[in-house]
């Protein structure tokens, strides 16, 4: 129903009876949007903001949860596809880990690291990894990036490039957008060789393209 809201940030509250939230005024309508500490720290009151939102619809209520980037919002939605992971827990996980860190945890299957997030025990962490790894890294449905015209250092493995492309496509980017981002990163950041680093800078590049 909603992709993003663009308007004036009226207020932000870290701890209140409504929880952590912001109020954004768009065309004289104030939207109360739940969010996390990591997001709220990026925002300043009385400024113009663009918030990517997700609508949660329950039997007796509707609510919006928002983030400053499309990627965070999309990962938030992916996390909720795991049975037992609701809005609050998904926000807590994204408060603890950046997108690159979270996906790196999935790649390494590091349940112990994931359980650092508040509310995520060992069993829940393992469940998240089992259910989400294939969604984020869908090897069979992704055509590998043609790296013939990408200057790479000897340390960069083709597997790392394919992993990054797989994740980007899983987040909704096209193969061409993924290739452009990876090419930009590898051409201009020669010391960037690890999967998590290539992914981090690729996401930064793509966020500037929005």
* Rounded average pLDDT over 146-159: 62
Which one, of 182, 181, 194, 90, lies nearest residue 132 by Cα? 90
Which one, of 4, 47, 45, 54, lies nearest residue 22 by Cα? 45
Confidence of residue 201 (pLDDT cuts 50, 70, 90): confident
Specify whether 27 is located in the same domain as 63: yes
Kindly tell me the sign of the dihedral angle through the C-alpha atoms of 57, 86, 142, 145. Answer: positive
Q: What is the pLDDT of residue 132?
A: 82
**CATH number of residue 78's parent domain:** 1.10.150.20
* Rounded average pLDDT over 103-132: 88
Spatial separation of the C-alpha atoms in residues 65 and 138, rounded to whole Å: 27
Specify whether 143 is located in the same domain as 205: yes
* Long-range Cβ pairs for the range 155-163 (8 Å, 24+): 155/193, 156/186, 156/192, 156/193, 156/198, 160/193, 160/194, 160/195, 160/198, 161/186, 161/198, 163/107, 163/137, 163/195, 163/199
Specify whether 152 is located in the same domain as 192: yes
Specify whether 159 is located in the same domain as 200: yes
- Chain mean pLDDT for the chain: 84
* Rounded average pLDDT over 180-187: 86
Secondary structure (DSSP) of 1-28: --SEEEEEEEEEESSSTT-SEEEEEETT
Confidence of residue 39 (pLDDT cuts 50, 70, 90): very high
Q: How many CB atoms lie within 10 A of CB 97?
A: 18
Q: How many CB atoms lie within 10 A of CB 171?
A: 18
Specify whether 78 is located in the same domain as 127: yes
Specify whether 75 is located in the same domain as 61: no
Spatial separation of the C-alpha atoms in residues 121 and 199, rounded to whole Å: 27
Specify whether 131 is located in the same domain as 151: no
Q: Euclidean distance between the first and final Cα of the chain, in Å?
A: 19
**CATH number of residue 57's parent domain:** 2.40.50.140
Residue that terminates a domain, selected from 80, 110, 136: 136
- The parent domain of residue 20 ranges over 4-67
Residue that terminates a domain, selected from 67, 85, 117: 67
Which of 33-37, 142-146, 173-177, 188-192 shows the highest mean pLDDT? 33-37
Specify whether 150 is located in the same domain as 123: no
Residue 154 has pLDDT above 70, yes or no: no
Specify whether 93 is located in the same domain as 52: no
Specify whether 104 is located in the same domain as 152: no
Q: What is the pLDDT of residue 139?
A: 41
Confidence of residue 153 (pLDDT cuts 50, 70, 90): low
- Total domains in the chain come to 3
pLDDT digits (tens, 9 = 90+) for 55-91: 988 777 789 999 998 888 988 998 988 888 999 999 9
Specify whether 95 is located in the same domain as 122: yes
Residue 147 has pLDDT above 90, yes or no: no
Q: What are the φ/ψ torsions at residue 143 (nearest 5 degrees)?
A: -80, 125
Whether this prediction's pTM lies above 0.85 is answered by: no
Specify whether 97 is located in the same domain as 152: no
Q: What is the pLDDT of residue 170?
A: 74
């Amino acid at each position: 129903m909603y992709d993003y809201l663009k308007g004036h940030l009226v207020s932000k509250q870290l701890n209140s009876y409504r929880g952590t939230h912001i109020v954004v005024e768009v065309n004289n309508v104030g939207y109360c949007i739940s969010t996390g500490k990591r997001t709220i720290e990026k925002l300043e009151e009385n400024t113009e903001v663009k918030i990517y939102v997700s609508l949660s619809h329950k039997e007796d209520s509707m609510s919006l949860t928002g983030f400053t980037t499309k990627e965070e919002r999309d990962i938030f939605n992916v996390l909720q596809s795991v049975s037992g992971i609701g809005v609050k827990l998904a926000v807590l996980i994204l408060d603890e880990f950046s997108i690159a860190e979270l996906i790196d945890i999935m790649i390494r299957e590091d349940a112990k690291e994931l359980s650092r997030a508040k509310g995520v025990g060992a069993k829940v962490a393992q469940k998240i990894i089992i259910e989400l790894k294939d969604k984020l890294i869908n090897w069979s449905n992704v055509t590998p990036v043609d790296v013939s015209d990408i200057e790479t250092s000897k340390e960069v493995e083709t597997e790392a490039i394919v992993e990054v492309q797989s994740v980007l496509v899983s987040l909704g980017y096209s193969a061409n957008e993924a290739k452009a981002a990876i090419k930009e990163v590898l051409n201009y950041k020669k010391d960037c060789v690890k999967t998590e680093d290539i992914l981090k800078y690729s996401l930064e590049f793509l966020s500037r393209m929005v």
